[in-house]
Structure 1
Amino acid sequence: MKSVSTALHGKGSARRAANSSAVDAGARAGFAARGVIYVLIGLVALRIAFHQSDGKQADRSGALQEIAEKPFGSVLLWALGIALVGMALWRLSEALFGAAGADGHKAGKRLLSAARFVFYGFVAYSVLSFAAGEKGSGGGSDKQSKDVTAKVMEWTGGRWIVGAAGVGVVVAGVWILVRAALRKYHKKLKLGEMSRRTRRAVDVFGVCGGVARGVLFGTAGAFAVTAAVRYEPGKAKGMDDTLRAFTRTPAGPWLLVVVALGVAAFGVFSFAMARWRKT
């Protein structure tokens, strides 16, 4: 009995450590950092729609360049990178000890948190590298997508891998879109702490931002599938090229305007997550 009690106590201590105030603060800082990046990507995309982008890309590298050009930009970049480290560590704690919510301990949830830890760890590394002066570390999403696609296609069965990955991204985009439209994020928010007006505003940004993000993911995935089918790595597109592709539709630049506003809205929604997310 004593050993069982000790094990339970140890597990409880680990869970309390995962939900500590430091981890909570890191998660909220990470959401705020994500918000900054998405708002800036949306603004750059808007300028692209009106041919005023000054050569910047509508992706993370473009957002980092925007920050770097501002007063105290270097300080802001370091703060952004550190905040994203906080986000990565929070996801790691979820993977190790379980996330908030009744089903947060399930293997699927913990595996998803582990994947998010890897993703945000990479993003944090790229931002900190950029802040340290390695300007190439901001990463042009378009070049990265084409280079990775070309390399994978050289492998045996590479076309199938790229195609499968593209289908996976399309499915992820649809999943993001549907969950946003159904307001599934409600269960992750402290709705009781919001006024009715605030809740409505959060829903506007949450739905519009989630739908736009889902469309963006789905479109990028479709380009990857096209690259695999045609055996043309150049058909794969990063975030910047995917956003620019909307200008080549019958709706012209106005479709990009709509999607860009949605991307910026997701950034604002991330600020709401930083304030009211259950961690």
Structure 2
Amino acid sequence: MNPTSVSPSAAVDAAQDSRAFRLGARVGYVVLGLVHVVIGMIAVSIAAGAGGGEADQGGAMEQIARVPFGVVVLWIIVVGLVALGIWRVGEAIVERDPHTKRRWGRRAKEIGTAAAYFAIAGTALVYALGGRSDSSESTRTLTADLLANPAGVVLVVLIGLLVLGVGAAFVVRGARRDFEKHLSLPGGAVGGGIRALGVVGYVAKGVAVAIVGVLFVVAALTHDPEKTGGLDAALRSMAELPFGRVLLWLVGAGLVIYGVYCFARARYARL
């Protein structure tokens, strides 16, 4: 063996130790927070009956694009989330849990999280280049294509249950404060405040994601792709429930809080 050869995990470790890599990941958390704050504000606006646009990543990017220097901010979002996604892929590569099942489970979680960051970065890139994205329509088209197949109902139900599971995981993570393991929090009121932000933010995001999963299951059982949709459709469906506008206001405020938590995470994340 060539003594100068370097293993992939060692190369990733070296890259993650670089100051530029860590800075890029922290910027990623900042822009992730910004996106959630904007989505939450749109949801609160919908709850108040003021419209406000689409309460999803595309709607957030559209709002950002309208402000002065918005295109610059969109490019920062692209770079930050790509850097954060690459960081999570690196975490998957260097995962060393001695238990095989747990190790691969954590790797799958890191890759899935990275994919979500890359997807949001892709949406930001579309708007930075002057385009538009309709995630709800894309979701309905995908659902319709799946339902057109013999096993389509089963596939859509499985997708719905998977998304519902992700939402439930966010709720559990917030309720159990599992997110603290990834932070180096200060003591006193600052640390307690960040914990509170994390609990509320994770639970609110989990509820929003879980409703997206429920819509997939409803679409499958009714064989109606119009029943499904992305985050915007989920939040608007929430508004139609008894006391739904109050619930939507709370979830929207919770998403804003999750965004603020992401700002704190950019400072205190263990990288």
TM-score above 0.5, yes or no? yes
Report sequence identity in percent: 31
1:217 maps to what in 2? 209
- Aligned pair partner of 2:115 in 118, 121, 128: 118
**Structure 2 unaligned residues grouped into runs of 5+:** none
The reply to whether residue 201 of structure 1 matches residue 158 of structure 2 is no
Whether the 8 Å CA contact 1:18–1:97 is kept in 2: the answer is no
1:166 equivalent in structure 2 = 160
Structure 2 residue corresponding to 1:53, chosen from 51, 54, 75: 51
Q: Give the corresponding residue for 1:246.
A: 238
Aligned-partner Cα distance in 2 for 1:169–1:277: 26
Contact 1:26 1:89 in 2 (8 A): no
Seen in structure 2, the aligned counterparts of structure 1 residues 187 and 133 have a Cα distance that, compared at 3 Å, is: same
268-277 or 116-125, larger mean C-alpha shift: 116-125
How many Å apart are 1:233 and its aligned residue? 0.8
- Distance in 1 separating the partners of 2:151 and 2:263: 42
CA distance in 1: counterparts of 2:109 and 2:120, whole angstroms:
17
Q: How does 1:1-279 map to 2 (within 5 A)?
A: 3=1, 11-54=9-52, 56-98=53-95, 106-134=103-131, 136=132, 139-191=133-185, 194-279=186-271
Give yes or no for contact 1:45–1:257 (8 Å, CA) kept in 2. Answer: yes
Structure 1 gaps, min length 5: none
- Give RMSD over aligned pairs: 2.3
TM-score (norm. length: structure 2)? 0.92
CA deviation profile, 1:121-173 (whole Å, cap 9, x unmatched): 22212211210112x2xx22321221111111122311101101101111111
Number of positions where the alignment pairs a residue of Structure 1 with one of Structure 2: 270
Q: 1:212 to 1:21 in 2, by over 3 A?
A: same
**Aligned-residue offset at 1:252:** 3.6
**CA deviation map 1:151-203 (0-9, x unaligned):** 11122311101101101111111111011111001111002xx1311111112
CA distance in 2 between counterparts of 1:162 and 1:66 reads: 31
Q: Deviations over 1:65-121 (max 9, x none)?
A: 11111111111111111111111111221222338x998992222222222222222
- 1:194-232 CA-partner distances (Å, limit 9, x unpaired): 131111111221111111111111111111111111111
- 1:228 to 1:182, Cα distance in 2 relative to 1, 3 A: same
Give the TM-score taking structure 1 as reference length. 0.89
